[in-house]
A and B are shown apart, each in its own frame.
Chain A
Amino acid sequence: MCDTCGCNITHGNESLIKPGGKLARTKSGKEAVTVLHSLLQENDHTAHHNREHFDQHNVLAINLMSSPGAGKTSLLEATIQLLDPSIRIAVIEGDLETENDAERIRKHGVKAIQIATGSACHLDAHMIHQALHNLELNEYDVVFIENVGNLVCPASFDLGQHHNVVLLSVPEGDDKPSKYPVMFRSADLVMISKADLLPILDDFKSEHARRYLQDIASTAPVIELSAKTKSGMTQWLDWIKQQISNRKDYLKQHPVQSGHAHQHEHEHLSQRREGAKNTKVISDKAIPETGSPL
């Protein structure tokens, strides 16, 4: 919803603003202001801005989400090893603390930027925006964003990605889509990870997971994959290549305006707040922090 054309008035809230509705009343001496804006307006604005940056440089951005330990970093490592080397990859890692995941990615010779969120349980668009200052986007074809391991909070924040991939690892149980519908509803692709454990943990039934996904009206394709045995990797890599190609075709038909005026003097309100100060973007020092054209 865009907050400008009235599409934010839904079946759910229109009764509230009609005459006689709860929002129509005004007490004497007071002014009632009808707003109808998303609470995440500022984040969504920055996310849109990030997406413009990705599009200007023909970069596909994929946001990986899952519970902690579902195998996001292992999936990225396997992807780096097996993806066509002509496809240039960068990774933005989100964790509460440590640079461990970024280190794992860098060992494969791939640029990785670690965002240490401190106490924040999710990445938001402002953090990605900061990270993009340390990334020369024209050097990459795909940027993977590894979100903080969490099946709740990251689902509410648009980062400017083009696709969400949600991992459901076999040890977690096949009913996770039913327990975390908001997260799994956001998925453009669902990956059943650690699929090599399916014969051992036989109470996980892939068909059950698929049925729970149907219950939340998900039309996302499902891939069973093991980063360890590499089964399912071909399907995943084909999906990535298909999305790169689709995005390029889309941008040919809908070119992004060049010379997009962009000033970073502005200070986002939320960045002034205490919470945002606790977020650190750790560059891998390969590129000077001020060297970005963003």
Chain B
Amino acid sequence: MHELAICESLMDQVERIALERNAQCVTSIVIGMGPLSGVEAQLLKHAYSIASTGTVAEQAELIVESLPVRVRCNSCGAESEALANKLLCKTCGDWHTTVIGGDELMLLSVELEKPDELSAEVLH
């Protein structure tokens, strides 16, 4: 279950962003991934609940955007959606294709809650 290792890497990035931007907490994290990333969304969400404990993102919602597998045909140039284990061109059927989507495993965005000015003044 490499999802936990990946989540730890995610938490490192999120914590760094929150620190840089002086955020109070992280409210949501959006990641984008495709079937060819080799990572299971459900396992990642489960691992996230473990990895986020005690961090600035403990209460954050993890939103997973599933990105489709897409290929470009090296023979006819057509682009089409495909299955992870059937990366064939839908137009001409050729198997000489290049994956142009569906292998992503990316942190897309983070939503932060910033301390408002009033509470900042109180703190000072």
Hey, which bits of chain A sit against chain B, CB under 8 A? 8, 10-13, 16-17, 22-23, 26-27, 29-43, 120-122, 124, 152-153, 155-157, 177-179, 181-183, 185, 212, 214-217, 219, 269-270, 273, 275
Least distance between A154 CB and chain B CB atoms (Å): 8
**Contact A34–B109 (Cβ < 8 Å):** yes
Which of A31, A34, A177 is the one whose CB lies under 8 Å from B21?
Answer: A31
Check A17 against B84 for contact (C-beta < 8 Å): no
Add 7 more A-B contacts to A33-B109, A37-B107 (CB < 8 A).
A13-B67, A23-B30, A38-B107, A39-B106, A121-B1, A156-B2, A275-B8
Closest beta carbon of chain B to A277's beta carbon, Å = 12
Q: Do residues A121 and B100 form an inter-chain contact, with CB atoms below 8 A?
A: no
Q: Is B86 an interface residue (CB 8 A)?
A: yes
Q: Are B38 and A16 in contact (CB under 8 A)?
A: no
Scoring A29, A216, A217 by chain B CB atoms within 10 A of each residue's CB, the highest score goes to A217
Separation of A37 and B107 alpha carbons in the complex (Å): 5
Q: Is the CB of B100 within 8 A of A11?
A: yes
Say whether, besides A13-B65, A34-B109, A40 and B9 are in contact (CB < 8 Å).
Answer: yes
- The answer on a CB contact under 8 Å between A152 and B2 is yes
CB distance from B29 to the nearest CB of A (A): 9
A selection of 29 A-B contacts at a CB cut-off of 8 Å is A10-B100, A16-B108, A22-B65, A23-B109, A30-B114, A33-B17, A33-B112, A35-B17, A38-B106, A38-B107, A39-B9, A39-B13, A39-B106, A40-B9, A43-B9, A120-B5, A153-B38, A156-B38, A157-B2, A179-B85, A181-B84, A181-B87, A185-B36, A212-B85, A215-B86, A215-B88, A216-B84, A216-B86, A275-B8
Is the beta-carbon distance between B32 and A16 smaller than 8 angstroms?
yes
List of B residues within 8 angstroms of A40 by Cβ: 6, 9, 105
A36 vs B68: C-alpha distance when bound (angstroms): 17
Least Cβ–Cβ distance between B119 and chain A, in angstroms = 12
- What is the CA–CA distance of A23 and B32 in the complex, to the nearest angstrom? 11
Find B71's partner among A34, A42, A181, A217 (CB 8 Å cutoff): A217
Collect the chain A residues with CB atoms within 8 Å of residue B105's CB: 38-40, 156
**Beyond A33-B112, A217-B95, is A273–B8 a contact (Cβ under 8 Å)?**
yes
Mask: chain B, 28-40; 1 = CB below 8 Å from A; 0 = not: 0011101011110
Inter-chain contacts of A10 with B (CB < 8 A): 67, 100-101, 104
Contacts of B114 in A (CB 8 A): 29-31
Q: Indicate if the CB atoms of A217 and B87 lie closer than 8 Å.
A: yes
Closest to B98 in A: A217
Distance in Å: Cβ of A128 to nearest Cβ of chain B:
14
Could you list which residues of chain B lie within 8 angstroms of chain A, going by C-beta atoms?
Answer: 1-2, 4-6, 8-10, 12-13, 16-17, 21, 23, 27, 30-32, 34, 36-39, 65, 67-68, 70-71, 79, 84-88, 95-102, 104-114, 116
Q: Which of B8, B12, B30 contacts A22 (CB 8 A)?
A: B30
> What are the nearest 4 A-B pairs in CB distance?
A12-B101, A12-B67, A153-B2, A182-B38
In this complex, the member of B4, B5, B27 whose beta carbon has the largest number of chain A beta carbons within 10 angstroms is B5
Residues of B within 8 A of A17 (CB): 108
A155–B37 alpha-carbon span in the complex (Å):
9
Query: Which residue from chain B places its CB closest to the CB of A212 in the assembled complex?
Result: B85
Bound form: Cα–Cα A32–B17 in Å: 11
A43 to B111, CA, bound (A): 24
A13/B106 contact (C-beta < 8 A), A30-B114, A37-B13 known? yes
The interface centre, meaning the residue of B67, B85, B98, B116 with most chain A CB atoms within 10 A of its CB, is: B85
Q: Give the docked Cα–Cα distance between A121 and B43 (Å).
A: 14
Q: Indicate whether A30 sits within 8 Å of B2 (C-beta atoms), given known contacts A12-B104, A36-B106, A215-B95.
A: no
Q: How far is the CA of A269 from the CA of B109 in the complex (A)?
A: 20
Residue of A30, A124, A153, A217 touching B97 (CB-CB under 8 A) = A217
